[in-house]
Structure 1
């Protein structure tokens, strides 16, 4: 079951980069994002009000505000960076592989911020993932042309925004249900992107049918599939393991982009795919042992103990 969830998460999250490429060809990024989230937020709110009333009644104003901030970081901030990078000419594969640095950042911060123990085996997997990311980055950079250098910095901002949201959620003392979290996150994004679209005069959708195909793709795969599964796997497996799966986004997206848009996929990209798979296997084999949390209490301060929340 964990393997199936992980595979579905990787495919659906990678589909978001492909959908961004599809949408970028028919409308500005804010137009795509507005029409992706406004209908979605309305539908989710209606469903949540009917099917999950108990969860909404138990939700405090503080919890709702925390979820709104999490959505602002994990959806609005992350997606603006991804779409803007692709609009500037950065390929879908390159955008995904720059975001692939996220596991190293999250893994390095998991100890000091969350008190989670990151084992040597997990660090080995993270380093392997970095090597795979470098391999794919090199391949895409060699093939890129006509893209300003600072465009490659834009996805870093999105990656940092998603890392911040991950830690904010992980440190939350209470957990909203997935349906409530997704509704608040999407509603926050709908407000943000509507304001941006109206403010820039880009709220009117094009008549092109390909635009609505891209919208349907983005709602079904990356939002419900990728984004929803991200939080499910995060709660089941922890920060380090779920973020290790992000190493697979770059090679999978690069292969998908090569098939769909003719983007380059050579030996270095293939090497990156193999190395990313090795990284995931190394970290997830370590998952047979329960996650540990560093603690300052007890007879041996700082000694790892099993994480009670796991």
Structure 2
């Protein structure tokens, strides 16, 4: 008898990339609501500590396996330091120093192209002309989506932090794919966030006033970033890196600025121009081509 595939499971796997983009795009909600009440790095330290506490309890209750050996802990920890500590720290600092969110998105939006170039040379991934064209088309779409913000005060002081974020998320994605593609997500999140917390706490103590206001907006923003982003979206990102190529995972980040623009339009009434709508269409087409085998 022929073995039939499981349609619900197959549909669930196919939905993971779209759910990841949806959740990751909501990060601007937490940043927009929380940053007026706390310095960026202190905000992130509280977020990381909450994730470590919650996931440690979950891992212990569920008796999840922990990584074995110093090498496994170090590899997962380095990935977490890059993807969480340096990437998120760079993004939050860039925005807090006046770099428009659209410009920040555009800088970080170079990640799929940068990942593709490094993956081809370092990891031996093979990309045809169609996938290269898809990556270029996706970046053009992102540029159109954020084009309105490119003219609104450049805030060059935050540019180095945005570039650091770009390099960190690229290196972190490639590192995890190369050295630690598979680990239990419950304990792995704890291991990833420990070095990110330590590094961010030291940077916060050296550079920021350790003051915050526990307002309703701040508590909501912190909870949103902990549960929706750090637990939900990051777990999905780990699954995507484990299941696909580095370029496949990175190309999904092209969909984040268009998705964020739609959230801003629906929640805050921000205007969507014709160029932005065209950019969204180009981005979706580019990601489809880049992920097409």
- How far the C-alpha of 1:200 sits from its partner, in A, is 4.7
TM-score scaled to structure 2, two decimals? 0.88
| Mapping 1:19-168, distance limit 5 Å | 19-53=30-64, 55-56=65-66, 59-142=68-151, 144-145=152-153, 147-168=154-175
Offset from partner CA, 1:72-99 (integer Å, 9 cap, x none): 1110000111101111223334322321
**Do the aligned partners of 1:17 and 1:96 also contact (CA within 8 Å) in 2?**
no
Cα distance between partner residues in 2 of 1:149 and 1:203: 25
Cα distance between partner residues in 1 of 2:79 and 2:110: 20
Structure 1 residue 267 corresponds to structure 2 residue 278: no
Match for residue 217 of structure 2?
210
Match for residue 255 of structure 1?
262
| Range 121-130 or range 210-219, more displaced | 121-130
Structure 1's unaligned 5+ residue stretches are 288-310
Cα distance between partner residues in 1 of 2:212 and 2:284: 39
The alpha-carbon distance between structure 1 residues 201 and 170, as it changes in their structure 2 partners (threshold 3 A), is closer
- How far the C-alpha of 1:199 sits from its partner, in A, is 4.1
Structure 2's unaligned 5+ residue stretches are 1-11
**Do the aligned partners of 2:141 and 2:282 also contact (CA within 8 Å) in 1?**
yes
How many pairs are equivalent?
282
Cα distance between partner residues in 1 of 2:92 and 2:116: 25
SS of residue in 1 equivalent to 2:284: helix
Offset from partner CA, 1:214-261 (integer Å, 9 cap, x none): 001101222122221111111112111111111111111123234434
The alpha-carbon distance between structure 1 residues 173 and 86, as it changes in their structure 2 partners (threshold 3 A), is closer
- How far the C-alpha of 1:135 sits from its partner, in A, is 1.6
Structural RMSD (CA):
2.1
Match for residue 13 of structure 1?
24
Cα distance between partner residues in 1 of 2:42 and 2:158: 20
Offset from partner CA, 1:271-292 (integer Å, 9 cap, x none): 11111111122233x23xxxxx
